[in-house]
Structure formats: structure tokens, C-alpha cells
Amino acid sequence: MKILITGGAGYIGSHLVKQLLNTNHNITILDNLSTGNIETLNTIKQIRDFDFIELDLKEFKKVDKFLADNNFDMIFHFSASILVSESVKNPLKYYMNNTVNTTNLINCAIKNGVNKFVFSSTATLYGDVKNIPKDGLHEKLPTNPINPYGMSKLMSEQILQDTASAHSNFKFVIFRYFNVAGADINYIDGKLSPRIGQVVQNATHLIKVASEVALGIRDKMAIFGEDYDTLDGSGVRDYIHVDDLASAHIRAIDYLDDINNKSDIFNIGYGKGFSVREVIESMKRVTKVDFRVNIEGRRDGDPATLIADNSKIKEMMGWMPKYDDLDLICESAYKWEEGII
Ligand SMILES: NC(=O)c1ccc[n+]([C@@H]2O[C@H](COP(=O)([O-])OP(=O)(O)OC[C@H]3O[C@@H](n4cnc5c(N)ncnc54)[C@H](O)[C@@H]3O)[C@@H](O)[C@H]2O)c1
């Protein structure tokens, strides 16, 4: 199959590309390298070569021509702006880069006969759910994003659903990711040696921040809020290893290829939560570094608990996680960070 991956130079997209390069599919990456990393692409090119086009999705005419010149069968659409706090300060950036550019990409897909579309959405759009069901958040819950980032993704989901209703050949899979973490599971001489991982300045993702503190790149980190209604008072999240997340996307190829399957939305997480304190303890355990942690107030818009009900993706795609071990997630993130300083 001929597959286009937007945002394939970024953190999650590059982990999917790494897995796709071990298949027979023909791979092309489109990325403007705004947060994506050219070194990451050079590293995975060692697995197998692929096409890369440096292009911004806001260049509507060029994107249209590019799709017209290539007969893609499928698009994985990862590219986006992804910072919740920035989206509050600069909402238009998020509506332009996420919603408007996604709308244009879907339009170009329809015009050029690309009928399979996989979209990276987020658990953020469930908002602050009060009575969380005992098995976690399921896909039928009402959505209620509490920031422009989540809203920009929800609008894209709606546009995809309306498009699929109007164009019977067009099918989508929407994945709502929970908290993505960790780096490439790759062993050299029995030692965990990630080749790719998350590359970002001023990271806000907890596990990346904790690995930077353990390495002394930062001198301390914070727990934001210790008065949540959780077992130890800190926020609880469902952390999924990036390679397990990528493997769900591989499943989506067969899912969309099967004419019996319909467009659908799937949560993707482990269905198990860890508190901020538990994550910090895990990082200290695997690194054997006892770093400094401050307690600060809650951040606006942070719900107490976000845990996926993942029964739908397991049942309908046969997806099973391989790396659902918090210590392994922390260790891979740390080893990656250690390798790039
Ligand atoms: N990281 C997470 O925990 C998380 C959680 C939920 C959802 N997501 C979603 O997953 C997707 C990938 O996230 P990530 O963590 O890999 O982020 P990332 O910033 O590492 O990757 C995004 C990629 O998109 C590219 N890009 C951005 N705007 C572009 C444009 N206009 N044209 C072309 N390329 C553009 C960037 O250069 C980058 O390579 C995003 O859609 C994000 O919303 C991520």
C-alpha cells in the first residue's frame, strides 16, 4: 500500500514509520520540521529508505498537487500543534494548524481519491469527567474539551465524520491517545538502546521531564496539585508506550482495508492509571537517582484522573500491548535522553 504520513518526523509519527519500514508498504513522510527532527529521519532511514517531502500543510495548493501527483491509498495524519497551555494563549494557531489544515488535507484526500484516513486525536477532549466509569473512559462518553487544543481536535473529528457520511468510499479511524511516553524499544548486546525518542525543547510531558531531572538537565521538577481526589492526591493518568501506540496504527491498516469494517473512534491506552507520585518513584527506581521534587498548585484544566477503557480497540482490532510496564516506559525514556545529551 502507498502510505502518506504527515508529521512523521515527530515523536509519535516517527515510531510508526520505524514499524512501517519493516513491512512492504511504500512510505512517504510529509513534515514542515517545525517540531519534527531531521536527525530522527536520518536514523530511521538506516532501516530502509523512504520518501520525505518538507512541506507545510498550510500550503493548500502544494498539498493538493502533491496528492494529485502521488496515488496514495492511505494517510496517517499526525501533524499538529500539541501544547495545551500554548493553545490557551494562542488559540488561532491551534485552530489554523490543527483544524483548518486538517480540513484542507481531508478535502485534498477526497479530491484525489485517498479513501483511508487515520487521525491522531486525544483523550483531552473528554474534559474533566466527574463520575468516571469503573472500567475507565469509553468512546461513547460525551466530549467536553476544556482548552482550544482539545476543541481543535474535536472539530477535526466532526469534520471527518461528516465527510465519511457524505462520501461512502471514504473511511477513517480516529485514535484518542491517552498519555504517550517512552522511546524506541531496541536492544543492543542485551542493553536497552533507543534509536529514536521524543525531541522537544522545554518539554511538559511528565516522564520526559522526570528523565531530564534524573540526568541533571533540569535541577528539579514539580508535582502540580496534591489535593486531587485520588489515592495519593496527585493526578492519575494512563501512560502508554509509544511503540504500543504505533502498533495500533499498523492494525488500523488491516482494519480499514476490510470492507466489513466501518469508520470508527478508538481509545488507546492501557486501561490502568498511575499517579504523578508513582511515576516519579518509578523514574527514581530505574535510574537510582533521588532527584528534587517540589509541590505546586494545580494547573488550570488538569482533570484528576484520565484512564482509558480500551476494550473496543482490543476487541475490534485485536490490538494487545507489549510494553505495559511503567518501569520499562521510564527506563526507555531515560536511556533515550541519556543518549542524546
Ligand atoms: N504526545 C502525546 O502525548 C499526544 C497525546 C495525544 C495526542 N497526540 C497527537 O499525536 C500527534 C503527534 O504528536 P507528537 O507528540 O508526535 O508531536 P510532535 O510535535 O513531535 O509531532 C508533530 C509533527 O507534525 C509536524 N507539523 C506540525 N505542523 C505541521 C504543518 N503545518 N505541516 C507539516 N508538518 C507539521 C511537526 O514538525 C512534527 O514533526 C499530534 O496530532 C498530537 O495532537 C499526542
Q: Give the cell for residue 198.
A: 521524543
Q: Give the cell for residue 73.
A: 491509498
Which residue from 76, 82, 306 has its CB within 8 A of the most atoms of ligand 1, so it is best to mutate?
82
Architecture of domain 187-235+272-307+327-340: Alpha-Beta Complex (3.90)
Burial of 294 (0-12, 13-18, 19+ CB in 10 A): exposed
Q: Which atom of ligand 1 is nearest to the CA of 36?
A: 39
Alpha-carbon distance 32 to 57, whole Å? 8
Q: What is the mean pLDDT of the chain?
A: 95
Q: CB under 8 Å, gap of 24 or more: what pairs does 123-126 form?
A: 123/176, 123/177, 123/178, 123/179, 123/238, 123/267, 123/269, 123/306, 123/308, 124/84, 124/149, 124/150, 124/153, 125/150, 125/151, 125/153, 125/154, 125/157, 125/176, 126/176, 126/303, 126/306
Q: What is the model's pTM?
A: 0.97
User: Which residue puts its alpha carbon closest to atom 10 of ligand 1?
Assistant: 120
Alpha-carbon distance 295 to 114, whole Å? 49
Alpha-carbon distance 312 to 161, whole Å? 18
**Residue-wise over 246-270: b if at least 16 C-beta within 10 A, else e?**
bbbbbbbbebbeeeeeebbbbbbbb
Distance 40 CA to ligand 1 centre (A): 14
Instruction: Parse the chain into domains and list their residue ranges.
Output: 2-180+239-269, 187-235+272-307+327-340
Which pLDDT value is given to residue 201? 83
Please say if the pLDDT value at position 203 is more than 90: no
Residues of the chain with pLDDT > 90, as a percent, come to 91
Active site residues: 149
Alpha-carbon distance 179 to 308, whole Å? 10
Do residues 235 and 276 lie in contact, with contact meaning Cβ atoms separated by under 8 Å?
A: yes
Which pLDDT value is given to residue 24? 95
Alpha-carbon distance 124 to 306, whole Å? 9
Which pLDDT value is given to residue 171? 98
Alpha-carbon distance 119 to 310, whole Å? 17
User: Which residue puts its alpha carbon closest to atom 12 of ligand 1?
Assistant: 78
Which pLDDT value is given to residue 247? 98
Distance 82 CA to ligand 1 centre (A): 6
Greater confidence (339 vs 139) lies with 139
Instruction: Specify the amino acid at residue 97.
Output: N
Do residues 224 and 293 lie in contact, with contact meaning Cβ atoms separated by under 8 Å?
A: no
Q: What is the mean pLDDT of residues 29-53?
A: 96
Which residue from 16, 31, 119, 244 has its CB within 8 A of the most atoms of ligand 1, so it is best to mutate?
31
Please say if the pLDDT value at position 102 is more than 90: yes
* Three-state DSSP class for residue 215: coil
In CATH terms, the fold of domain 2-180+239-269 is: Rossmann fold (3.40.50)
User: Which residue puts its alpha carbon closest to atom 9 of ligand 1?
Assistant: 120
Q: How many CB atoms lie within 10 A of CB 157?
A: 19
Task: Read off φ and ψ for residue 117, nearest 5 degrees.
Answer: -140, 125
Which pLDDT value is given to residue 204? 87
